[in-house]
A = this chain, B = another copy of it.
Amino acid sequence: MAKLLKEMNKAELTKIRDEMQAKYEQYCDMNLKLNMMRGVPSNEQLNLSNDMLSCLADEYVTASGMDCRNYGGLDGIPELKKIFADLLDITADEVIVGGNSSLALMFDNVASNMSHGVRDGEPWQNQGKVKFLCPVPGYDRHFTICEYFHIEMIPVGMNDNGPDMDTVERLVSADPMIKGIWCVPKYSNPTGIIYSDEVVRRFANLKPAADDFRIYWDNAYAIHDLDVNRAKILNLIRLCEEAGNPNMPLVFTSFSKVSFAGAAVTCMASSKSNCEFILKRLSTQTIGPDKMNQLRHARFFKNAAGVLAHMDKHAEILRPKFKLVADTLRQELGSLGIAEWTEPAGGYFVNFDAMEGCAKNIVSLCKQAGVTLTPAGATFPYSNDPQDKNIRLAITCPPLSELSEALKVFCVAVKLASAEKYLSESV
């Protein structure tokens, strides 16, 4: 099958279609139950942190003398603030430690700005139809937050080095109702790309028409490198400060894919002044975060270097999975000209672009054969992929043997759907 599908005649296409159909039916008979739907760590990765379950024993007091069992400590315990600050290369007073979900921090920040405005400014909801820029493909849960708050989403294309900044700059400087943009600057979900220095600089130097415009910088994969030489992105908080936009960035990160996905700690980072405003709301919302879990993380990791050493162990587990995906896709689809995909150096996803009009069909074929993928379209606002070609492969959770099986089914589905597509066009 070294020939490109588009160069095949009807007989050749029919032959491939029939072969794939037969293979596909075999898979369907196997009652597979495989899952590549969401960016979830594997058991093996979770096991890396099991010692955290007992690492506190009888300890519950911070170095500063705070009893973590009791109320208080709204912004987080000093030990953990320092770890997050060191990892993000900022200061501890630019950090607010959150609960177990960074999504909850983002949701709450949008909710706050909608109802109460940015820094006591006019609530977004009173200003007209609020709009967000959404680089695509992107993270579905960002889009769901916008949908929930009836925020209009404007898709912006992604290049290999970040969002299309010409478009971002043009739109942001022209429309005062554009209040935000969602970014995953390192190992972007799902494309895996890394924002270049130039892109980050252009973000910091945006001249928004809205003075209450905010960059939602979801640095979820800040330290999730596969390679020992960690990729670096520029420091948005520092660059914004230098550019005279100190309050524009809202940075989020999380240990969900560092320790336990459901029981980790998260953080939000911004200018000291922004943090102070956010803490005012927080003091109405809660009497304080779960400091015991913060202490658990601080004791287990000890410091930022400890976190990075721990991430090296994650990388060891994940590297063979990313390699398997790259090898399988290249081997099965490399010569056919029916798809493009990424080989990211970190993060949790492989981005797959099928032939136009084929993504929904491929995901549906896989589902019927017992392989669950992220729904086609999920990577676009309103679940609307205008070309119906993008598929996010979440490859971290299944064991290698299952991943291998799932990829075989996937590749058969891709070839089947592509052959059918060409055949339907040749009619």
- Residues of A at the B interface (CB closer than 8 Å) are 38, 40-41, 43, 46, 49-50, 53-54, 56-60, 67-73, 99-101, 103-104, 107-108, 111, 114-116, 125, 141, 144-145, 148-149, 256, 260-263, 281, 284-293
Contacts and interface: CB of A to CB of B under 8 A. Distances in A.
A143 to B, nearest CB: 10
Nearest to A108: B285
A72 B46 CA distance: 14
A107 B43 contact: no
27 contacts: A46-B60, A46-B70, A50-B60, A53-B57, A53-B58, A53-B59, A53-B60, A53-B292, A54-B54, A68-B262, A69-B261, A70-B260, A71-B262, A72-B262, A99-B100, A100-B288, A100-B290, A103-B285, A107-B284, A115-B115, A116-B148, A256-B287, A260-B292, A262-B289, A263-B290, A263-B292, A263-B293
A137 to B, nearest CB: 19
Contacts of A263: 68-69, 290-293
Contacts of A289: 100, 262
A286 B103 CA distance: 6
A129 to B, nearest CB: 15
A298 to B, nearest CB: 14
A80 to B, nearest CB: 14
A115 to B, nearest CB: 6
A116 to B, nearest CB: 8
Contacts of A125: 115
A103 B281 contact: no
Contacts of A43: 67
A190 to B, nearest CB: 16
B54 A67 contact: no
A256 B289 CA distance: 12
Contacts of A101: 285-288
Nearest to A296: B53
A102 to B, nearest CB: 9
A36 B414 CA distance: 68
B290 A99 contact: yes
A261 B115 contact: no
A87 B208 CA distance: 53
B286 A104 contact: yes
A104 B54 CA distance: 28
Nearest to A106: B285
A281 B99 contact: no
Given A260-B292, A262-B73, A285 B104 contact: yes
Contacts of A46: 60, 67, 69-70
A370 to B, nearest CB: 20
A40 B148 contact: no
A260 B144 contact: no
A285 B109 CA distance: 11
Contacts of A290: 99-100, 262-263, 290, 293
A38 B290 CA distance: 18
Nearest to A288: B262
B54 A70 contact: no
A281 B100 CA distance: 17
A107 to B, nearest CB: 5
Contacts of A145: 284
